[in-house]
Structure 1
């Protein structure tokens, strides 16, 4: 096991004494595998006991100090995650009661005696900057990979009465199946509704279309006002216009659209503007195109190549000149 991948969701269940026998053995082995793991567990346990020290009363500890301690540990764990770039994670909460934050998914565990009206107001926001990616686990066990320049938000009521998230940018979801609670991704002016499946949603604010690609299962595409647009089967993709909700349905290799979570970017029959947008997000740069070839289509992949290596490869496909000045890149077609 990689000790850098901290099982916050199972740790939370262990602390609440909700683990299965297998999870209990897993956590015991994880805690004993390193001093860092043991130290982290003791800190989380201490904060939990600080809030819940008595079943007869609610305790109001120094919440600013507790938040500082947990936030420090969260950012330390993120720095060791599989994506080495520093992530920007904003956790915005208007709840007046104490919340214990556990996990890279930033799950809010709120004391059951707290006023339930605060649940609807408490919001978790997770955001990546240009050139960054991250993986997280939502409170229901759903796995999410968040692409560059993307933002995911959900309320503290998530997985209680409903499972709804808001997405700006791109994310791949591997949804924990729950027949009783639909999982809904709100992206721009459509909703993607599922019960348990794996799919990619691209809904960047600068893009004219929303793209949903389904790896397995079945999803429904619904407008914000509840109008059903279409359903997707495995290895199908839908492109929905933000302007008028007109859509086109295609057969598509969904593995191509999820390749970015494996650190690979694949282009298939893409025009220069589509290529430039994705490269900007991938490398964390700004691209200026001069005299672009509007008719040329590109099919290639990027994995471990540096920006300069990629531009040299690009030059073999179509003659270009380029310059790199910090984050500013100029590509001139000859």
Structure 2
């Protein structure tokens, strides 16, 4: 029967376990490394025992990963693995005991405390950063898109969370995220909208349509881009806006408008021109219909949206005829508008329900 090990031998064996575990966790100090190497080189039995401990460490599930976050728990799991591995530990020859002074013991405790504190600090920072970014991303992904529409025959006015006021013309739609103003101020427009943008130097206001991008800080402008129209237009009343083609890179704005200028994009050719204007394009927000020398084909598109009807022009040449005039949708119905155009002698018309036929 083998004699029991002395308390001194057990203490030395526990110390060897700790040194091996610390070495395999990549946190061994120079002094501890020297002492461990001296013990390994002291005898063949020590070398065999060291190899066995390394084998036990590597076979312990997750102990390598665990050691990166909780050294004490990793060491406890390592020792438990040794005790339950079913192998009898090799008799460990005592290492040459180095005299310990109060200063060396204190130094060892300080080093261990700093080691654990560093690990905890890194973990706290990493977890905080990770949780913040995951939370931010989940919050943004959870934001639903808000859609606002102005049906045919009516206009809609609304105020965005940042204080920006928007008027939508008939047959228009605007979308923006519930997170509007969190990381950006971006809206998507289909149709026509007039914007009085609340000033925010740190966060530009961006409007995207299928053809154009507009970026502003704080200003008043009209943006028209109906999917069925042959052209798209941005018209500026106050401030300054940057305009770019939708096909260009995000953030690439090739043109800048000054007050009383507008950018007109011909969708077919892709040509964009900057021109001066003499009247504001926002009159529609008050229900005003401006003909202003426009083609009958374009006028009828506006009348369809304003009055919720379908208009058919039976003559192509007639569709190119230009008309002038100002009407107010609230005060003048469709029959009155068409009657005024017919009074010029250029057109005749028939209204049947919500369908209008215009002919020569």
TM-score normalised by the shorter chain: which range applies? 0.5 to 0.7
Mark the runs of 5 or more structure 1 residues left unpaired by the alignment.
1-113
Q: Distance in 1 between matches of 2:178 and 2:222?
A: 24
Q: Match of 1:49? A: none
Q: Match of 1:263? A: 287
Contact in 2 for aligned 1:222/1:228 (Cα 8 Å): yes
Q: 2:140 aligns with which of 119, 128, 146?
A: 119
Contact in 2 for aligned 1:172/1:199 (Cα 8 Å): yes
Q: Match of 2:238? A: 216
Q: RMSD value over aligned CA atoms?
A: 1.8
Q: CA deviation at 1:115?
A: 7.0
Q: CA deviation at 1:289?
A: 0.4
Q: Match of 2:299? A: 275
Contact in 2 for aligned 1:214/1:254 (Cα 8 Å): no
The more displaced of 260-269 and 224-233 is 224-233
Cα deviation 1:132-182 (Å, max 9, x = unaligned): 211000000000001111110001221111000000000000000111111
TM-score by length of 2: 0.58
Of Structure 1 and Structure 2, which has the larger fraction of its residues in helix?
2
Q: CA deviation at 1:320?
A: 2.1
Q: 1:290 aligns with which of 298, 308, 314?
A: 314
Three-state SS of the structure 2 residue aligned to 1:234 is coil
Contact in 1 for aligned 2:211/2:225 (Cα 8 Å): no
Q: Distance in 2 between matches of 1:221 and 1:140?
A: 22
Which has the greater radius of gyration?
2
Q: Distance in 1 between matches of 2:163 and 2:268?
A: 34
TM-score by length of 1: 0.63
Q: Match of 1:188? A: 210
1:281-320 correspondence runs (5 A): 281-291=305-315, 292-303=317-328, 304-320=331-347
Q: CA deviation at 1:316?
A: 1.5
1:136-285 correspondence runs (5 A): 136-224=158-246, 225-226=249-250, 227-255=252-280, 257-285=281-309
Of Structure 1 and Structure 2, which has the larger fraction of its residues in strand?
1
Contact in 2 for aligned 1:143/1:173 (Cα 8 Å): yes
Mark the runs of 5 or more structure 2 residues left unpaired by the alignment.
1-134
Q: How many residues align?
A: 220
Cα deviation 1:201-252 (Å, max 9, x = unaligned): 1110001211111111110101232433311110111111334531111111
